[in-house]
Amino acid sequence: MSDFVIAPPETVSVPVAGGGSFPVRRVYCIGRNYAAHAVEMGHDPDREPPFFFQKNPDNLDPSGEFPYPPKTSDVHHEAEVAVMLKAGGRDIPVERALECVFGYALALDMTRRDLQGEAKKLGRPWEIGKAFERSAPVGPVRRVEEIGHLAEGRIALSVNGALRQEGDLNQMIWKVPEMISCLSHYFELKAGDVILSGTPAGVGAVKPGDAMTIEVERLGSMTVRVV
C-alpha cells in the first residue's frame, strides 16, 4: 500500500517502434541550433555557447493531434529530432556521450511565438511560450540498434503539403554528443531524459485545420493535425 496523499500522476511515456514504451523523466530543448534559423530569429549564427530550456514531460504527445492553445494568435511549428537517453551521469565526455542514447524520434517544438517574443523582450523565462499543454507532438521512438545514430540526413516540415522547413542534421551547430556532454555539466542526466535538438530555418504559424508533416531521413514521417 502506498502512502500517497493524492493519486500519483501517471508516468509519461512514448511508444517505441516494434513494441514497448519509453518512460520520460525530463525534456531539455536546445535553442538556435541551426545557423539559418538563428539568423531568421534575428541572431548571430556564430557558435556561441549552447543554451537550453525545458518542456514538461507531459507536454510530449504521441496522439497525432495538436489542439490550438489558448492565449496566443501566433503558434509556430519547429521540426526537431528528439534524442531519448537510456543512461546519463554528470560530466559526460563528448566521446562517450552517444553510449547514453537509446533512440531517436520525430518531434515538434510547438511555440506560442507571440508570448515567447514578449518574454524575450522583458527578460522573462520562456515557459509560457514553450511549455504548454501538448506542446511537443512526438512520433514513435526508433532504437539505435535499428537505425544507428543520426548525425546527418534531411529534415523537413510541410504544412498542407507545402514545404516550410528544410535542412540537414549535419547543419546542427552543437552536435548530439556535444549537447549531451554540455547538459551533463549543468545537470545530472538520467535514463528517461529527452533532448529536442533544435530546428532548421523556415518556422512559421499554423491555424486550426492545418496538417503538419515532419520528415527526417531514417525516422520516416509523422503528420500532426492542428485541431
Sign of CA dihedral 46, 193, 203, 143: positive
Minimal CB distance residue for Mn ion:
109
Report how far residue 25's alpha carbon sits from residue 57's, in angstroms, rounded to the nearest whole number: 6
> Quick one: 172 or 189, whose CB is closer to Mn ion?
172
> Quick one: 78 or 193, whose CB is closer to Mn ion?
78
Q: Does 109 bind Mn ion (CB under 5 A)?
A: yes
Taking CB under 5 A as the criterion, the residue among 78, 107, 184, 192 binding Mn ion is: 78
Q: Does 130 bind Mn ion (CB under 5 A)?
A: no
Evaluate whether 224 touches 211 at the Cβ level (below 8 Å). yes
Q: Does 165 bind Mn ion (CB under 5 A)?
A: no
Number of residues engaging Mn ion in binding (CB under 5 A): 3
Task: Choose one: 17-25, 105-113, 133-141, 217-225; the region binding Mn ion (CB under 5 A).
Answer: 105-113
Q: CB of 134: closest distance to Mn ion in angstroms?
A: 16
> Quick one: 17 or 40, whose CB is closer to Mn ion?
40
Q: CB of 80: closest distance to Mn ion in angstroms?
A: 6
Cell, residue 224 = 500532426
From residue 79, give the alpha-carbon distance in Å to each of 12, 20, 115, 159, 187. Answer: 21, 25, 19, 11, 25
Q: Does 199 bind Mn ion (CB under 5 A)?
A: yes
> Quick one: 165 or 199, whose CB is closer to Mn ion?
199
Q: CB of 29: closest distance to Mn ion in angstroms?
A: 5
Q: CB of 35: closest distance to Mn ion in angstroms?
A: 14
Q: Which residues bind Mn ion (CB under 5 A)?
A: 78, 109, 199
